[in-house]
Each structure stands twice: as structure tokens, then as C-alpha cells.
Amino acid sequence: MADRKIIGSLPQKELVKMYATYISEPKAEFFKSIGAGAIQGVRDGIYINMLEGVRKNQPPLKLIDCRTSGGVFNLGHNHPLIIQALKEGIDAGLDIGDHHLLSEQRALLAKQLAELMPGDISKTQFCVGGGEAIDLAIKLARSVTKRRKIISAKTGYHGVTGVALGAGSSRFKDAFLWNFPDYHQVDFGNIQEFEKLIDEETACVIFETIPATGGILIPEEGYFAKIRELCDENGVIMIADEVQTGLGRTGQLWGIYGGLYPNEKIVPDIIVLAKGMSSGIYPMATCSYKPFIGEVFEQDPFIHISTTGGSELGCYITRTMLELISSPSFLENVRKMSLEFEKGLMHFKEDSGLQDLIIDIRGRGLMWGIEFPNERYGIGMTLRMIENGIFADYCGNKEDTIKLMPPLIIEKADVVEIMQRLEKALLSLPQPKKE
């Protein structure tokens, strides 16, 4: 066992074939079609090294990770302090723990979260992934309001588990016949449409602060403030899906609380976190809420359980992550790099001769989207970026837009390198035909 090769145990061709045979042939073929048919090798910092190239005799690809799996790798890959925490936890004898016993690590992490959360959000339940945490958030909203109606965005994404799936876009639920009358959807950013739909039968409203899969959509200032006001007027629970916008991605700790607009600090009733919680080392998600929402647990504290949610080892790693990303110096650097990133992207639209190619550039912090004339450019740009050493992709519910979410640890030299590679990719795209 000690001599077993872990990375590159077989030639890439054999591994790709094995993936297709035992996991998904359509997925393997799709990856190959967009130039991503290589197997991940060593990951370090902002880089992903592939085992080999995607074409014959091509050297192994070394990609700058500008996808970060939707923010999972906010601290890059294998951050030394996170790896140290992992080893410390293992050496101390931490494991998943038993959810029918009280937990030191859960208690410490929950207290840490309560101190960082906006307003009076102070209670936390632990889950394995974002979908499970959204499931719980919706369940809690229904239990406390005694209502069933749920409002979400048409192009939103909240995971693919049972309760959460209904709040997402049709792409992910139609094939599974997962459309139910209690779920209602509006165009994100359209407050008039939302105002007509919310009523005293509504249990909860759930939106991503910035819908990533929906196309990195930025609502007008005042949108979430009005939603908060309407929720209060109708006794509706406001759920903020901060899975991708939370944990410093916008340059503030929470996107909903000053990250979208500095002067707009909205306190929802529930905040859901996942992805970046464990820095890509151990699955971790949380559902944090105001105390009154958890009244169902007063009747039966075991009415919701998660066997592997909030593992003690994962909690210890997450505590280290939170210490890192919540420090003022870390967030200040994210804000500085976001200005550099924005400046580089706006150059493409305004000064580089690419004005006809780029329809829009939008984002906050280190979360940006580039919109092209049509969906073909989304796939095309994904391929061109990989060819030029950038790993990023297009938005699943708006395929004419690519999303860029680099690690939050990038420095100015990294931004320069990313922009140089992006410019090469953009210039290699065909110019749209003028009508």
C-alpha cells in the first residue's frame, strides 16, 4: 500500500475509458468535445496540472483555475494552513463523529459562525452539501410559517436534492418530473413580477445573491431591500443562498450584506453556505438562521438529522478557513484584486477591438461573467480558454455567458497572467457577423 501510485496510476487514455465505462460515457465525450478530456493531476495553489494533454503528443496542460468549482477552492488548491489543519485533526483523533452525541467541534464552529453572521442569525445546523442545506432551509421555513408556497428565480440553481430541486431551473428538474404546484418562479431582478406573486400563503423566498448558473446576474440596487420589505409585510421567510457569493467572494464576507452594494446590508432570515466551507478538503455545508425559525426542534430535536453532516474533522478544517477569510487583510486584498480584475475585463470591452464580440461584462469582487452574442460562443470560449491555460466554463442556465471565479488568494501578477491568457482566447474567437 505504501508504494501505491495515487496520481497517474494508469495512462490517461485508460483512465478516460474507465470513466466512460463505469461512470458516464456522455460526460466523458462532452469533456473531450470542449478540450477538457484530460485527467486531473497534481493541484497546487491557483493551478491544476493535468496528467497529459488532450491531443496526441501535446504536453500536459497546466491550467489557472478560474472556475474553482463554484467557489469550493476559494483558498486555492491544498492551501498549506488547511492541509495543516487536516493533519492536526487526524492526529488528534477526529473523525466524522456521531450525530447522536454532543460535539466539541460543532459547538466551536457554530459559535464562530454566529459571531460572523449578519444581524441576529445565530443558530446553525450542519449538512454535507449545499442541496441538503437548502432542503433544510425550505423545511424550516414551512415549519415555522405553516405555509407551503415557495418563490425562487427561473434560472436559479440550488442543488439537485429533493426539496431544493423544485426551486431550481427547469433544466435540472423537468427530466425527473419534478414540478410541483407549491413552487413558483419569477425572473430574477424583476421586482414587479415578484410583488404580484408574494402573498400571505408564501412560506419562503429563496434567491442566490448573484445567480452564477443563471449568468452572473446583478440586480439593481434596492432589489433585495424591497424583497426584505415584502417578506416582512407578508410574514415570509427570506432565504439567501450564499453558497457561491458568501465567504469573501464579493470582497465582503457576505454578498447579501454589503457585498452586492456597499450601502445595502440586508439581513435575511436564513443563510445557506457550502462549497468553500472546507476549502475542497472535506464536504461541509451549513444552514444558519434566526433563533425563532428553529422552533420545530423544540418539539423534537431529532426531527432533522444528517449522519455525516458537520463531521468533526470537517468542522475543524472549516474553523481554520473562517479564520483566514474573515480577516480584514484577506478581504481587503480580495477587494484590491477585484478592482484589478474588473479593470482588465473592461479593457476587453472598451479598448481592445472586441466590442462587437462582448455583449456585457458584469460581476462583483472576484465573480464575473462575460456575455457573448449567442450560446455557441460559450462553448467556443471554454475551449479557447483551456487551450490558453485557463480553466473556466459557461453558465449552465445561460450558455452565452462564461463565468470567472478565480481563487481569492490571487495576487496582481496572477491577474495580469489571467488577463493575458483571456485576451489570447478572446482574440482567437471568430468575430460575429454583422447583419
Convert the pLDDT of each residue in 385-431 to its tens digit: 999 999 999 999 999 999 999 999 999 999 999 999 999 999 999 98
Cell of 178: 419534478
Q: What confidence score (pLDDT) does residue 129 get? A: 95
Q: What confidence score (pLDDT) does residue 134 get? A: 97
Q: What confidence score (pLDDT) does residue 309 get? A: 93
Q: What confidence score (pLDDT) does residue 149 get? A: 98
Q: What confidence score (pLDDT) does residue 54 get? A: 80
For 71, 167, 180, 210, 425, the CA distances from 172, given in Å and listed in that order, are: 20, 10, 14, 19, 30
- Interhelix angle 412-427/375-387, rounded to 10 degrees, is 120
Q: What confidence score (pLDDT) does residue 432 get? A: 82
Q: What confidence score (pLDDT) does residue 57 get? A: 79
Residues of the chain with pLDDT under 50: none
Convert the pLDDT of each residue in 272-316 to its tens digit: 999 999 899 999 999 999 999 999 999 999 999 899 999 999 999
pTM of this structure: 0.96
Q: Where are the beta strands (DSSP E) in 194-334?
A: 202-208, 237-241, 270-273, 285-289
Domains belonging to the chain, first-starting first, are 80-325 (3.40.640.10)
Q: What confidence score (pLDDT) does residue 36 get? A: 81
Q: What confidence score (pLDDT) does residue 27 get? A: 93
What is the Cα gyration radius of the chain?
Answer: 22
